[in-house]
Amino acid sequence: MESVKGMTLIICALKAEAKPFIKAIKKSKTTRNGKLKTYHGTIDNFEVVIACCGVGLETAAASTQTLIDNYEITRIIMSGTAGGIGKKIDIGHTIISTELLYHDNSNDEVFIADSGLLESFKNAVKKNPPVHKVHFGRISSGGKFITGDTFASIAKKYNPLCVDMETAAVAEVCNKNNIPFIAVRSVTDTREKSGMFTFFRYMSSSAKNSFIVVKKLLSELKETHKGCTPE
């Protein structure tokens, strides 16, 4: 891979989650490092790298470290889908991380989302709120797809707003490398509406909701002159 300075890296687990970003990116240059494919270009004149890290904690962590090693990253945003747990969380809602942790891992560390990115997200959502609901709170990650009553046990012990299979691992790698990180996950399924059928039914629309919210952040960062490319 070429080394590119000052990049905003947007990571998704699945290509279906990255699809809205890939569709929106301009002046795109595609590169490969093994199975890891990246798209380097601009979204609304803001320079980004888009990558799919793959599904699962170990895969996501390894891909993130590879990307950090090969690009000079300024910040990392994870975008995608998740299972909703919070009482007021429903399908289509978007959760922006304030903190991240594992719910089935011996590592009990809590990773705090970057304060600057969090503040920028709050400003972006306040200035131009999306039509769907946005929440700020805890995201937890584990090695399995969650269904049914497992939602309740995780909620009781960890109290996250949503769960997924990658974000805490990406957050841990960013923490070790001192890279500012935040996650944006939109809900595909809940305890009441769980299962793979529900996940696949809503994956595309929920991935688009995450994209909409991340795009608002890029506009906010551009307005504050943090990493945008010249017109």
Is the pLDDT confidence value at 34 over 70? Answer: yes
pLDDT score recorded for residue 110 = 95
- Long-range contacts from 51-55, C-beta under 8 angstroms, 24+ separation: 51/9, 51/10, 51/11, 51/12, 51/18, 52/11, 52/12, 52/13, 52/14, 52/15, 52/17, 52/18, 53/11, 53/12, 53/13, 53/166, 53/170, 54/13, 55/13, 55/14, 55/165, 55/166
- Percent of all residues in the chain with a pLDDT value above 70, rounded to a whole number: 94
How confident is the model over 108-149, as pLDDT tens digits?
899 999 999 999 999 999 988 898 999 999 999 998 888 877
pLDDT score recorded for residue 230 = 42
Lowest mean pLDDT among 42-56, 109-123, 191-205, 216-230: 216-230
- Percent of all residues in the chain with a pLDDT value above 90, rounded to a whole number: 68
pLDDT score recorded for residue 224 = 67
Q: Tell me if 59 sits within 8 A of 190, measured CB to CB.
A: no
For the residues 41-61, what does the mean pLDDT come to?
A: 93
Rounded to whole angstroms, how far apart are CA atoms 51 and 78?
10
Query: How crowded is residue 149: how many other Cβ atoms within 10 Å of its Cβ?
Result: 10
Is the pLDDT confidence value at 40 over 60? Answer: yes
On the CB side of 75, CA atoms within 13 Å amount to 22
Rounded to whole angstroms, how far apart are CA atoms 125 and 102?
27
Q: With bands split at pLDDT 50, 70 and 90, how would you rate the model's confidence at 6? A: low
The domains found in the chain, sorted by start residue, are 7-223 (3.40.50.1580)
